[in-house]
Chains A and B, each alone.
Chain A
Amino acid sequence: MTLLLDVQNLVVEFGPVRNPVRVVNGISFTVQAGESVGIVGESGSGKSMTALSILRLVNEPPARVSGKVLFQGRDLMQIPKRDMPAVRGKEIGMIFQEPMSSLNPVMTIGDQIDEAIFLHEDLSKAARRQRVIDLLRLVGMPDPENRLSAYPDQFSGGMRQRVMAAMAMACNPKLLIADEPTTALDVTIQAQVLAMMLDIRTRLNSAILLITHDLGVVAEICDRVVVMYAGHIMEDAGVHELFANARHPYTQGLLKSVPTLNDTRKRLHQIPGTVPPAGTIKQGCPFRPRCPMRMDRCAVEMPPLVAHGPAHRAACWATQPEGVA
Chain B
Amino acid sequence: MTVLMTIDGLTKSFADTSMRLGPKRPPVRAVDGVSFHIMQGEVLAVVGESGCGKSTLGRLLLRLIEPTSGTVTFEGQNMSVMAPEQVRQMRQRMQMVFQDPFGSLSPRRTIANIIAEPMDTFGLSGTGKARREKVAALLQMVGLPSIYMDRKPRQFSGGQRQRIGIARAISVDPTFIVADEPVSALDVSIQAQIINLMQDLQQDKGFSFLFIAHDLAVVRHIADRVAVMYLGRIVEIGTKGQVYNAPHHPYTEALLSAAPHPEPGRRETRIILQGDVPSPSNVPSGCAFRTRCPLAQDICAREQPALREVAPGLNTACHFAAAHPITRHRAQA
Contact = CB atoms under 8 A, between A and B. Distances in A.
A262 B160 CA distance: 29
Interface in A178-207: 186-192, 194-195, 198
B261 interface: yes
A253 B276 contact: no
A191 B195 contact: no
Contacts of A269: 192
Nearest to B279: A156
B260 A216 contact: yes
Contact of A267 (B216, B221, B244): B221
Interface string A161-192: 00000000000000000000000001111111
Interface in A240-284: 240, 243, 253-255, 257-263, 265-272, 274-275
Contacts of B190: 42, 274-275
Interface stretch (B10-18, B91-99, B265-273, B307-315): B265-273
Interface in B186-226: 187-193, 195-196, 199, 214-218, 220-221
A274 B161 CA distance: 12
B301 interface: no
B172 interface: no
A interface, over-half SS: helix
Contacts of A261: 216-217, 220, 244, 256, 259, 261
A167 to B, nearest CB: 20
B188 A215 contact: yes
A187 B157 CA distance: 27
A257 B265 CA distance: 20
Interface string B142-165: 000000000000000101100000
A213 interface: yes
Interface string A39-61: 00011000000000000000000
Interface in B231-280: 244, 254-267, 270, 272-274, 276-277
Interface string B264-301: 11110010111011000000000000001000000000
A254 to B, nearest CB: 6
Interface of A: 42-43, 156, 158-159, 186-192, 194-195, 198, 213-221, 239-240, 243, 253-255, 257-263, 265-272, 274-275, 290
Given A240-B264, A259-B217, 13 more contacts: A187-B214, A187-B215, A189-B49, A189-B276, A191-B258, A191-B273, A219-B264, A219-B266, A220-B267, A257-B188, A261-B217, A261-B259, A274-B159
Per CB-CB distance, the 6 closest pairs between chain A and chain B, nearest first, are: A216-B260, A186-B49, A257-B192, A42-B187, A268-B192, A191-B258
